Structure 1
Amino acid sequence: MASRQVILPKNIGEAPIPGAVKQKNMVAEKKNRRALGDIGNMVAPCGVKGKPLPQVSRPATRSFCAQLLANAQAAAAENKNSLAVNGNVAIVADGALLDKRAALARKPAQKKDATKPKPEEIIEISPDTEEVHVKQKPTQVVNDEKLAENSVDKSSSRKKALTLTSTLTARSQAAAYGLNDKQKEDIVDIDAADVNNDLAVVEYVEDMYSYYKSAENESWPHDYMDSQPEINEKMRAILIDWLIQVHYKFELSPETLYLTINILDRYLSATTASRRELQLVGMSAMLIASKYEEIWAPEVNELVGMSDNTYSNKQVLIMEKRILGKLEWNLTVPTPYVFLVRFIKASMTDSDVENMVYFLAELGMMNYSTLMYCPSVIAASAVYAARFTLNKTPLWNETLRKHTGFSEPQLKDCAKLLVSFHSAAAENKLKGTYRKYTSMERKAVALLPPAKFLLAAASN
């Protein structure tokens, strides 16, 4: 059997080599060397005068690739700077320059200059005048020119447009402020001189007298004489006239006298008393008031001696205990003297008016008919009648009205009653109060003529 000859394929440009396996290996090795030489993927740039540079057959390592990339980026940045100088901005991508039109199309819009708007205007209408005061208020910077213009237009329109309501409101407020200022000018601060006086308790004095006004009705003894079968108004007046003389003899404080009369009336309004023990009730009431108000209260035997030993010490102490039980030991009460001190201070007058006030108040306390008025009314009426008697003008002002809480018409009835007691004091058989206030120590105010003009005005 004839054998067939195998013909192997030939490479182009090469002579056939015997041995197929050996020929194949040599061709593959030659191609690998060729591939290693072309791995740079480099585009040969033009040299000087258009001559091509010799091809570099260097292996492309990592450091070499990084160097190539850095060189390409540096060249792109240099080209970008050169174009920016000419006023045109181009975008470099993969080492190539885009078209100038494309660059201009992608060119970002230039930012407009931020204009600072005018400060916002706040309109204020002064209550005293009709003028308009405009205050500037800082606002945020607005980038949009239209918004800035609109804000300025709105503020200017607010400045110019004044409604009828705002104008009338401003005028009414101005009138109200004017009245308040006028009233404040008329009212004098009577505590200004006692700001540094701790005993004056300026911080609490208004609250204290507000409480006294609310609590005076609780300790105010009303009409009780109808419930007393053995005593009458004349007996009560005789007892109080004697107590005023004892009080003056022992030189006790005014608070003691007014509290004594308050204790006496409250006890008689709570229980019945016989004619025989009426003076004993008065003595025990003064003993209680002295222990409450005085630093050195008179002793029991001294009070008994003032009564010509009509009662014993034991009887006085028993009556003292009985009175305290009926009053439930409640001795802190607003008497007329509490209000007299404050109202005399608000009157801001001399010592003549002060002595006349105390004289009229003690005459009123001695007479039973004044019990129909509360202690604050008696005190305010005594101040009003004293100013009328001594011709102090004005008779009543805003300062007195504020601190007393009473107007002039509210006091005329009680003041008329006090002036009538003053008119009859010189001829009255009970002269304890009259003699007390005829001394020069008290400015002899009892000798002054009474305010008969007030009696005539009240009767008319």
Structure 2
Amino acid sequence: MMQGRMADENRRPVAAVGKAPLAGVREMGNRRALRDINNLVGAHPYPCAIAKKPMLQKIGGDEQKPAVASRRPRTRMYAASLASKGEPEHQAIGTDAAFEVGHQKEPMEDGTDDMDVELCESTDDTDMHEEHKDSVNDATIMDIDKADSGNPLAATEYVEELYNFYRETEENSCVKPDYMSSQEDINSKMRAILIDWLIEVHYKFELMDETLFLTINIIDRFLEKKVVPRKKLQLVGVTAMLLACKYEEVSVPVVEDLVLISDRAYTRGEILEMEKLILNTLHFNMSVPTPYVFMRRFLKAADSDKQLELVSFFMLELCLVEYQMLKFRPSLLAAAAVYTAQCAISRCQNWTKICESHSRYTIDQLLECSRMMVDFHQKAGTGKLTGVHRKYSTFKFGCAAKVQPALFLLQSEGTT
């Protein structure tokens, strides 16, 4: 019964029920898409359903203006200074002391009040300023989800646990880097040609990024377990894309579209039969962490803008075509793509502590993969397989392919 449901191109697979919330589900009806929340990069804040009014403080029985929030963070040194002045400690929580005490402070002769003097004194204190700066850095370096704490769709309560699970299970999405040696009629060059063509099909159908990465993952996992003749390789490719669409997309291309895009090389029945074979071979497991899920998290840690995002994905998609990149884990590929893109844009090595903390990779661990990406970037516009370069040379993708390669990373290879 499960196979019958999966074989129908108009149904979505039951396996999608177990999918993690951040993998890119599109909106259904009035429900907002989880891919568009701030837990992922580039989304707008989730609007509050109720317009909350600020609390009013009462002074002498009359309502006054809302309490002014102090921009000064509360530190131990600041609290100690308040205690030494004999002022209530709760003033440092974030409300102006004039409203908390219940009367306005008398201005001093020079036009300033006590709070102004206190702020000026603390500003002149270099040691206190440095301690305050360090405390803010220590408090925020690990928390990139603080801005989304009030957004119920951002899953900030368990987003770290979610990515810990991704790391524990990413091994299941990997294949042996030499699996092609077990194939009798196909090789890595044929795989590269197929993937380059699928990237163009993916672009033509305007599918989501998640769909492309899952498509390639399905192909590799299937080819690792089944020997496929050369004439069936394209059939495996289009069927893998159909399955990925059923898992990721809301509007799924019909089988007839895939028949036409493959120049009628296969019939509708052959595609449905291959669909059942792939699903049974992979035990209906479509829930695997691809480089895409890690890329979104690492881009957020890097506080990326649109340019960095597009250049990072350009680097990552260049790796999809290359069979030799299968030796790297999905998380390492994503981290190296962000690092290489940062180097290409800023023209210097740029990998912050927060990027290292969330990716769990140091620059030394990324260099091998990053240098290979620079080499692919340098050669992307030449040769026969230029699908990724043409895609990212368009204005839709910010002409990301035209960014100059970070060649200094290759030059540093001889000195390390």
Q: How much has 1:181 moved relative to structure 2?
A: 4.7
Aligned mates of 1:248, 1:258 — CA distance in 2: 13
Aligned mates of 1:189, 1:346 — CA distance in 2: 9
Give the corresponding residue for 1:301: 256
Aligned mates of 2:204, 2:152 — CA distance in 1: 32
**Aligned pair 1:410/2:365, yes or no?**
yes
Give the corresponding residue for 2:12: none
**Aligned pair 1:340/2:295, yes or no?**
yes
Amino acid at match of 1:202: T
Give the corresponding residue for 2:200: 245
Give the corresponding residue for 2:286: 331
Aligned mates of 2:414, 2:326 — CA distance in 1: 21
Note if contact 1:362-1:433 (Cα within 8 Å) is conserved in structure 2.
yes
Aligned mates of 2:394, 2:411 — CA distance in 1: 29
Aligned mates of 1:378, 1:211 — CA distance in 2: 17
**Aligned pair 1:374/2:374, yes or no?**
no
Q: How much has 1:197 moved relative to structure 2?
A: 2.5
**Aligned pair 1:232/2:187, yes or no?**
yes
Q: How much has 1:247 moved relative to structure 2?
A: 0.6
After superposition, give the CA deviation of every residue in 1:255-309 in whole Å (9 maximum; x if it has no partner): 0000000000000001111100000000110000000100011000001100010
Give the corresponding residue for 1:423: 378
Larger Cα-atom Rg: 1
Q: Structure 1: 5+ residue runs without aligned partners? A: 1-126, 129-176
> Which residue, out of 161, 184, 189, partners 2:143?
189
Note if contact 2:142-2:357 (Cα within 8 Å) is conserved in structure 1.
no
Give the corresponding residue for 1:216: 170
Aligned mates of 1:346, 1:403 — CA distance in 2: 7
Q: Structure 2: 5+ residue runs without aligned partners? A: 1-75, 78-130
Residues 186/196 of structure 1: CA separation in 2 closer, same or farther (3 Å cut): closer
Note if contact 2:343-2:349 (Cα within 8 Å) is conserved in structure 1.
no
The alignment-based identity, stated in percent, is 45
Note if contact 1:238-1:430 (Cα within 8 Å) is conserved in structure 2.
yes
**Aligned pair 1:319/2:274, yes or no?**
yes
Note if contact 1:361-1:378 (Cα within 8 Å) is conserved in structure 2.
yes
**Shift >6 Å, 4+ stretches:** 177-180
Aligned mates of 1:197, 1:452 — CA distance in 2: 41
After superposition, give the CA deviation of every residue in 1:29-65 in whole Å (9 maximum; x if it has no partner): xxxxxxxxxxxxxxxxxxxxxxxxxxxxxxxxxxxxx
> Which residue, out of 386, 390, 402, partners 1:447?
402
**Aligned pair 1:396/2:351, yes or no?**
yes
After superposition, give the CA deviation of every residue in 1:346-398 in whole Å (9 maximum; x if it has no partner): 11121111100000000011100100001000000000100000017660111
Q: How much has 1:237 moved relative to structure 2?
A: 0.5
Q: How much has 1:433 moved relative to structure 2?
A: 0.7
After superposition, give the CA deviation of every residue in 1:179-224 in whole Å (9 maximum; x if it has no partner): 9958625715221222232332111110000000010012211120
Amino acid at match of 1:448: V
Amino acid at match of 1:446: A
Aligned mates of 1:333, 1:370 — CA distance in 2: 18
Amino acid at match of 1:276: K
Residues 185/458 of structure 1: CA separation in 2 closer, same or farther (3 Å cut): farther
Note if contact 1:186-1:398 (Cα within 8 Å) is conserved in structure 2.
no
Give the corresponding residue for 1:255: 210
Note if contact 2:235-2:274 (Cα within 8 Å) is conserved in structure 1.
yes
Aligned mates of 1:416, 1:393 — CA distance in 2: 14
After superposition, give the CA deviation of every residue in 1:149-185 in whole Å (9 maximum; x if it has no partner): xxxxxxxxxxxxxxxxxxxxxxxxxxxx999958625
Report which structure shows greater RCO (CA 8 Å, sep ≥6).
2
Q: Secondary structure at the match of 2:171?
A: coil
TM-score scaled by structure 1? 0.60
TM-score scaled by structure 2? 0.66
Q: Secondary structure at the match of 2:383?
A: coil
**Aligned pair 1:278/2:233, yes or no?**
yes
Q: Secondary structure at the match of 2:162?
A: helix
Give the corresponding residue for 1:356: 311
Amino acid at match of 1:407: T
Give the corresponding residue for 1:115: none
Residues 453/220 of structure 1: CA separation in 2 closer, same or farther (3 Å cut): same
Residues 353/458 of structure 1: CA separation in 2 closer, same or farther (3 Å cut): same
Q: Secondary structure at the match of 1:272?
A: coil
Q: How much has 1:329 moved relative to structure 2?
A: 0.3
Aligned mates of 1:263, 1:231 — CA distance in 2: 17
Over the aligned positions, Cα root-mean-square deviation in angstroms equals 2.2
Q: Secondary structure at the match of 1:276?
A: helix
